[in-house]
């Protein structure tokens, strides 16, 4: 069964149609890399998948269940658990500057535990802290638990942001150009963490300019141009033998567009 299915997703800002009918599927444990020039709609797609933007029409299914459905001109239907299906790691880390690293990780799970009064067991603060400590160890930052974001390098901040996203155990973890705000010498540590998540069978969508990384880590690659999936396939197909002229032009333009 597909972990994710996106059907004919469309998004407009005023008259500007930014996503013009996106269709894609992803199986559990698969990694999808999304590439494309600036302004093509990549961030908007991730934001629609994380419900930071509401698509105007289309449907999103997770594990075969519809979590979001919208018809043009009508109020979208979103299931309560939809938010929990996706996590997003931003280009600019977006850590809470006033909280320590461990507090950044614990905040959302604590809020969720507070809300969860009627169904299921509430996760105790001790259990949340234990999970946070484990995840910090996973991203190699145990010794920074009590540091503040401003005391960390960009690469360390991004690793904290990844651990924070994992605290909510999303089915699908999305990354929006996770290394593009980093100095080149700091990208490796972040890409290594993402690569390690792949070996733990995590389903991921990664918008990236790191073509070598996409080629090695992705199971599928999508090239988005002007709100349309211009080309998709395995990394070998898209990088090795692109069919569309736009893809060829993008790949031969030195990639960093």
Kindly tell me which of 43 and 187 has the beta carbon lying closer to ligand ADP: 43
**Member of 43, 187, 203, 208 binding Mg ion (CB under 5 A):** 43
Kindly tell me which of 53 and 171 has the beta carbon lying closer to ligand ADP: 53
d(CA 256, CA 240): 18
**Nearest-5° Cα angle at 219, 242 to 55:** 85
Kindly tell me which of 13 and 96 has the beta carbon lying closer to ligand ADP: 13
Min. distance of Cβ 224 from ligand ADP in angstroms? 7
What x/- string results for residues 25 through 44 when contact with ligand ADP is judged by CB under 6 A? -----------x-xxxxxxx
- Contact 23/6 with Cβ under 8 angstroms? yes
Q: Is 7 left (phi over 0), alpha (psi -120 to 50) or beta?
A: beta
- Contact 237/245 with Cβ under 8 angstroms? no
Number of residues that bind Mg ion (CB under 5 A): 2
Q: Considering CB distances under 5 to 8 angstroms, the limit depending on partner class, which of Mg ion, ligand ADP, none binds residue 44?
A: ligand ADP
Exposure string of 3-14, with b = 16+ CB inside 10 Å and e = fewer, is bbbbbebbbeee
β pairing state of 2-13 and 57-62: antiparallel
With binding defined as CB under 6 A, does residue 179 bind ligand ADP?
no
With binding defined as CB under 6 A, does residue 125 bind ligand ADP?
no
Alpha helices in the chain (DSSP H): 42-49, 82-85, 101-115, 125-138, 154-166, 184-199, 211-217, 235, 245-252
Kindly tell me which of 42 and 202 has the beta carbon lying closer to Mg ion: 42
Min. distance of Cβ 65 from ligand ADP in angstroms? 26
- Tell me the sheet residues that pair with 1: none
Min. distance of Cβ 134 from ligand ADP in angstroms? 32
**Member of 8, 13, 134, 236 binding ligand ADP (CB under 6 A):** 13
Kindly tell me which of 40 and 242 has the beta carbon lying closer to ligand ADP: 40
d(CA 150, CA 67): 37
Min. distance of Cβ 2 from ligand ADP in angstroms? 24
Q: What are phi and psi of 32, to 5 degrees?
A: -110, 125
Min. distance of Cβ 103 from ligand ADP in angstroms? 29
With binding defined as CB under 5 A, does residue 208 bind Mg ion?
no
**Member of 18, 31, 88, 165 binding ligand ADP (CB under 6 A):** 18
Binding interface with ligand ADP (CB under 6 A)? 13, 16, 18, 36, 38-44
């Amino acid at each position: 069964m597909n972990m994710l299915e996106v059907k004919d997703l469309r998004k407009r800002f005023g008259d500007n149609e930014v996503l013009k009918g996106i269709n894609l599927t992803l199986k559990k444990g698969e990694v999808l890399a999304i590439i494309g020039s600036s302004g093509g709609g990549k961030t908007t797609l991730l934001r629609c998948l994380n419900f930071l933007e509401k698509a105007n029409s289309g449907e999103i299914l997770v594990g075969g269940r519809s979590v979001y459905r919208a018809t043009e001109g009508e109020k979208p239907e979103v299931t309560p658990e939809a938010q929990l299906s996706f996590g997003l790691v931003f280009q600019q880390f977006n850590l809470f500057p006033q909280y320590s690293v461990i507090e950044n990780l614990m905040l959302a799970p604590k809020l969720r535990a507070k809300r969860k009064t009627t169904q299921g067991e509430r996760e105790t603060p001790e259990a949340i802290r234990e999970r946070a400590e484990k995840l910090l160890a996973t991203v190699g930052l145990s010794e920074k638990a009590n540091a503040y974001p401003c005391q960390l390098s960009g690469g360390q901040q991004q690793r904290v942001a990844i651990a924070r996203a994992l605290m909510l155990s999303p089915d699908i973890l999305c990354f929006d150009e996770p290394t593009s705000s980093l100095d080149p010498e700091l990208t490796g540590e972040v890409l290594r963490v993402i690569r390690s998540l792949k070996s733990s069978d995590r389903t991921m969508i990664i918008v990236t300019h790191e073509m070598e990384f996409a080629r090695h880590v992705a199971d599928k690659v999508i090239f988005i141009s002007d709100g349309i999936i211009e080309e998709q396939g395995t990394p070998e197909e898209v990088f090795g033998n692109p069919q569309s002229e736009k893809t060829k032009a993008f790949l031969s333009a030195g990639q960093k567009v």
